[in-house]
C-alpha cells in the first residue's frame, strides 16, 4: 500500500519550484493562482529569493505547501493514495492531496497559520532544540523537560533517535546539558526557527486558526489521513478539523503516525515536496519499508 507524506518547515531551499513552473503548464497555472490568492508574488520569492527570505515563517509555510500541493496537481490523474500524512505544516498539504481541502482554501489557511504563528513567536523569547541519539531515552527526555525552570515540552517525536523540544530560551538553557548526561543523547542542535512551535506558546495562534478552520469548507477525504496530534487514521471531518486546530499546541507524533501506517499495510512511503527529511525519518523508524521522493 502507498502512503504519501508531505514535509514541513525546514525543507525549503532557494529556487524551489522554479523548474516545475518552467516545465509544466499545470504548475504554472497554480503558481500564478497562488500569487493572486495571497496578493503578492510568493512565486518570485520561492524562485529567486535568498535563504534568509525563505526562512521567514510567513514565506516558508506557504512556499513548502505550494511546492507539495502543486506537485500533486501535476500528477492528479495518476494519484491514487491509500493513506496520507504530513509533518506539521505538511498536514495541510496532505489534506489537499486527499481532497479534504481545496487548493485555494488550503493555501488561505496555511497563510493565516503562518502569520498567526509568526505573531505568536514575537510575544516570547522561545526556541526549539533537536535531541539526537541512537539509544535515546525518550522517557528521560520528557522527564528532563518537565523539570525545566520555565515551560519546555516535547514538540516532535520524529524518530526513536530524534526528539525535538520546544520552549522558552531560559527554560531550555536550564536543562540543555542534561540530555547528553542523562538521556543518552549524542548531541543537541538548536534549530533556526522563529519560536516554540507545537507548545503552549502557540495558544494565541491556535485560537486564531481555530476560527479560520471552522469557517472553511471541508470535504469527505478520498483516503485516511494520519494526523500529527493523534498518530491515528481519520476520515471524519469533524475530528480532522479538531485535530488540525489542536496540532499547533500539541506534539507532532510522527513516529507513532508512521508506525500506525505500517501496521495498517503501508509498505511504500512517497515524500512529495522539497527535500528528503521525511524519507530519512521513515527509514529510522522502519528500515525495511521502501521510500522515494517526488520533487
pLDDT tens readout for residues 20-77: 999 999 999 999 999 999 999 999 999 999 999 998 888 999 999 999 999 999 999 9
| Polymer length in residues for the chain | 295
What's residue 246's pLDDT? 97
Q: Strands (DSSP E) along 160-242, which ranges?
A: 162-168, 187-190, 225-226, 233-234
3-state secondary structure of 23: helix
Q: Which amino acids are annotated catalytic? A: 88, 198
Residues 277 and 239: their CA atoms lie apart, in Å, by 27
Supply 155's cell numbers: 514538540
Q: Which pLDDT tens digit goes with each residue over 269-295?
A: 999 999 999 999 999 999 999 999 998
pLDDT in tens, 158-207: 999 999 999 999 999 999 999 999 999 999 999 988 899 999 999 999 99
Q: Which of 57-61, 131-135, 220-224, 262-266 has the lowest mean pLDDT?
A: 57-61
Identify whether the C-beta of residue 165 lies closer than 8 Å to the C-beta of residue 145.
yes
Alpha helices, H only, 75-188: 90-97, 103-121, 138-146, 169-173, 178-182
Tens digits of residue pLDDT in 103-124: 999 999 999 999 999 999 999 9
- The number of C-alpha atoms within 13 Å of 194 and in the hemisphere containing its C-beta is 24
- Which helix (H) or strand (E) segment holds residue 207: the answer is helix 203-214
pLDDT at 194: 85
- How confident is the model over 8-14, as a mean pLDDT? 92
The predicted structure's pLDDT at residue 56 = 87
Domains of the chain (ranges; CATH) run 2-121+200-294 (3.40.366.10), 126-190 (3.30.70.250)
Mean pLDDT, residues 120-134: 96
Place of cell 515536496: 273
Which three cell numbers, joined as nine digits, stand for 42? 510568493
Closest CA to 194 of 122, 249, 247: 122
pLDDT value, residue 193: 84
**pTM confidence score:** 0.96
**Contact by Cβ (8 Å): 190, 129:** yes
Within 13 Å of residue 214, how many CA atoms lie on the same side as its CB? 9
At residue 57, the pLDDT reads: 87
Amino acid at each position: 500500500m502507498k502512503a504519501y507524506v508531505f514535509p514541513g518547515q525546514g525543507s525549503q531551499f532557494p529556487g524551489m519550484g522554479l523548474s516545475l513552473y518552467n516545465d509544466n503548464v499545470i504548475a504554472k497555472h497554480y503558481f500564478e493562482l497562488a500569487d493572486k490568492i495571497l496578493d503578492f508574488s510568493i512565486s518570485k520569492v520561492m524562485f529567486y529569493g535568498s535563504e534568509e527570505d525563505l526562512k521567514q515563517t510567513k514565506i516558508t509555510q506557504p512556499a513548502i505547501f505550494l511546492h507539495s500541493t502543486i506537485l500533486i496537481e501535476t500528477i492528479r490523474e495518476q494519484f491514487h493514495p491509500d493513506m496520507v500524512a504530513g509533518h506539521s505544516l505538511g498536514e495541510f498539504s496532505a489534506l489537499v492531496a486527499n481532497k479534504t481541502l481545496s487548493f485555494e482554501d488550503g493555501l488561505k489557511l496555511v497563510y493565516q497559520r503562518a502569520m498567526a504563528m509568526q505573531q505568536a513567536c514575537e510575544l516570547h523569547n522561545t526556541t526549539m532544540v533537536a535531541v539526537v541519539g541512537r539509544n535515546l531515552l525518550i522517557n528521560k527526555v520528557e522527564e528532563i523537560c518537565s523539570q525545566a525552570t520555565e515551560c519546555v515540552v516535547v514538540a516532535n517525536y520524529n524518530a526513536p533517535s530524534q526528539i525535538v523540544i520546544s520552549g522558552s530560551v531560559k527554560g531550555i538553557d536550564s536543562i540543555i546539558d542534561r540530555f547528553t548526561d542523562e538521556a543518552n543523547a549524542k548531541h543537541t542542535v538548536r534549530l533556526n526557527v522563529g519560536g516554540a512551535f507545537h507548545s503552549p506558546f502557540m495558544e494565541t495562534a491556535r485560537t486564531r486558526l481555530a476560527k479560520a478552520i471552522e469557517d472553511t469548507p471541508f470535504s469527505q477525504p478520498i483516503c485516511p489521513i494520519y494526523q500529527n496530534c493523534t498518530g491515528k487514521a481519520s476520515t471524519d471531518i469533524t475530528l480532522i478539523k479538531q485535530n488540525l486546530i489542536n496540532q499547533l499546541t500539541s506534539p507532532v507524533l510522527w513516529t507513532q503516525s508512521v508506525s500506525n501506517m505500517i501496521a495498517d499495510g503501508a509498505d511504500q512511503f512517497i515524500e512529495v515536496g522539497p527535500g528528503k527529511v521525511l524519507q530519512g525519518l521513515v527509514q529510522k523508524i522502519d528500515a525495511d519499508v521502501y521510500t522515494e521522493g517526488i520533487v
